[in-house]
Structure 1
């Protein structure tokens, strides 16, 4: 399988090395286990002769314009954590050229994959229009605002949609590489994950800081503050709208446009966040914690955590 790794100037060091190490480890393990016919032919390509990483390392690359169409093109993220510099970077000539190259390869049948902020580059190139995708969780409000045609689900670490694979924040570059290895050989992907000492993860929800997302909009931030004060009560959209001096329709619309969630779903997020915090920092029983976040029984809280985080109470407390 031919894999082109398209590196842009300012590439996230860990993202680039994680995918290189994952594919390199898979190749070595394939050789060791008699699967030498299964090999990932990696090539780092770029739009310049030499790419400089975020930390100033120089990476020689093959000119993308002269490279053959790959089976997979994987683009590690450029390292922009805040909306303002990211928006400026998206307007650069390099990002526009990268988008044109990605569209060309995609049109010739290549699978396209990226993680974290790299999802913005794919969206700028219209490669995610009409597709499901994920992105780095803290930039989801900006993504949702800029690319309304993309069906965004930032709670997931990996989203596979037709010929595009997207991954969540930062270290999900490793999840992305393992996903691509798994498409070629589930057994090799499992072995590679064991050698790299990493687990299969499916959700970013456990890492999301809910109030960070709420700060993207004043009304959403007000709702977040109100909700935290009423976690132990049953949720009422009527009460929430009245407390914020707005209409139910306006509140629901703003929540959807900023967070892609209903007020009730976000309220549940805050309950989950509070419950996890108490599980990690107190010796209270599950039933006691459930009551504090508004559930009559601990079994309801257990089911909520399992559904939203993909793990249970024992796993949460075991990982302290």
Structure 2
């Protein structure tokens, strides 16, 4: 399988190296298994013939016009973790050149893959228009506002959508790389996962921090403060809207536009986050249930298991040394 990694200046070092190391490991393990040719022919491409990473390292790279046609183009993340930094980066001349090459590869029928902020580059190039996709959960509000034509589901770690595949936050590069290995050989993917200690993570929902997302919009930030003060009382859309001096319809629309979910769903996220913290510090389930608005511990146990994929005992041991 021919792979082209399109890396722009300021690329997230870990994302780039995770991709290259995973494919290199797959080739090494294939050789150990007696396979006489590499599974992956990987070419690093940069719009200026070299790539300077966010940490200041420089790597030689082929120019896009001289690169051979790949089966997949992979776009790792830029190291721009804040919305204003990312918007500025997307306006750079070298990024514009990279986007033009992405459009050209797409027109030739090449598969397109991106992880974390690399998904913004795919969306900026129009590659994700009308498709399902995921992205780094921390910048999902910006993604929704900037690319309304993309069907975003930031709860998922990996979203294959025909000839395009996207992966979630930062270490989603690892999930993306393993998915591509799986396309070449499911058996080799399982072997690589064992050698590299890669856990199966179908969702990034349990990593999302509601408080962080709330700061993306003034109304959502006010709603988040109201919700935290009313976790024990339970959710009421009319009460929330009245307290925020907006209509229920306005609150509903804003949370869906910014967060991609209803006010009730966001309220439930905060309940889970608070309960998870209280479980980790050893508070009793009876006390926790009352504090987050549940009548009994059985409902709370079920909710935590369903939303976090782990039971109370596992959550209590997570923070122990």
The TM-score range, normalised by the shorter chain, is: over 0.9
TM-score normalised to the size of structure 2? Answer: 0.95
Q: Give 3-state SS (helix, strand or coil) of 1:59's partner.
A: strand
Contact 2:280 2:317 in 1 (8 A): no
- Which residue does the alignment assign to 1:297? 296
- Which residue does the alignment assign to 1:306? 305
Q: Does 1:212 align with 2:199?
A: no
- Measure how far apart 1:225 and its partner are: 0.6
- Measure how far apart 1:114 and its partner are: 0.9
Alignment size in residue pairs: 319
- Which residue does the alignment assign to 2:131? 131
- Which residue does the alignment assign to 1:43? 43
- Measure how far apart 1:269 and its partner are: 0.4
- Which residue does the alignment assign to 1:79? 79
What CA deviation, in whole Å up to 9, does each residue of 1:130-179 have, x standing for no partner?
A: 11111111111111100000111111111111111111111111111011
- Which residue does the alignment assign to 1:68? 68
- Which residue does the alignment assign to 2:197? 197
Aligned equivalents of 1:17, 1:64: Cα separation in 2:
20
Aligned equivalents of 1:185, 1:160: Cα separation in 2:
17
Change (3 A) 1:188 1:317: farther
What CA deviation, in whole Å up to 9, does each residue of 1:197-233 have, x standing for no partner?
A: 1201122222222111111111111110111111122
Change (3 A) 1:209 1:187: same
- Measure how far apart 1:186 and its partner are: 2.0
Q: Give 3-state SS (helix, strand or coil) of 2:169's partner.
A: coil
- Measure how far apart 1:184 and its partner are: 2.0
Aligned equivalents of 1:80, 1:291: Cα separation in 2:
40
- Which residue does the alignment assign to 2:54? 54
5 Å-filtered alignment, 1:127-206, equals 127-206=127-206
Aligned equivalents of 2:110, 2:68: Cα separation in 1:
11
Aligned equivalents of 1:128, 1:318: Cα separation in 2:
40
Aligned equivalents of 2:184, 2:307: Cα separation in 1:
29
Aligned equivalents of 2:86, 2:281: Cα separation in 1:
36
Contact 2:72 2:113 in 1 (8 A): yes
TM-score normalised to the size of structure 1? Answer: 0.95
Unaligned stretches of 5+ residues in structure 2: none
- Which residue does the alignment assign to 1:24? 24
Contact 1:203 1:310 in 2 (8 A): no
Contact 2:281 2:316 in 1 (8 A): no
Aligned equivalents of 1:269, 1:296: Cα separation in 2:
18
Aligned equivalents of 2:180, 2:317: Cα separation in 1:
30
- Which residue does the alignment assign to 2:121? 121
Aligned equivalents of 1:20, 1:226: Cα separation in 2:
45
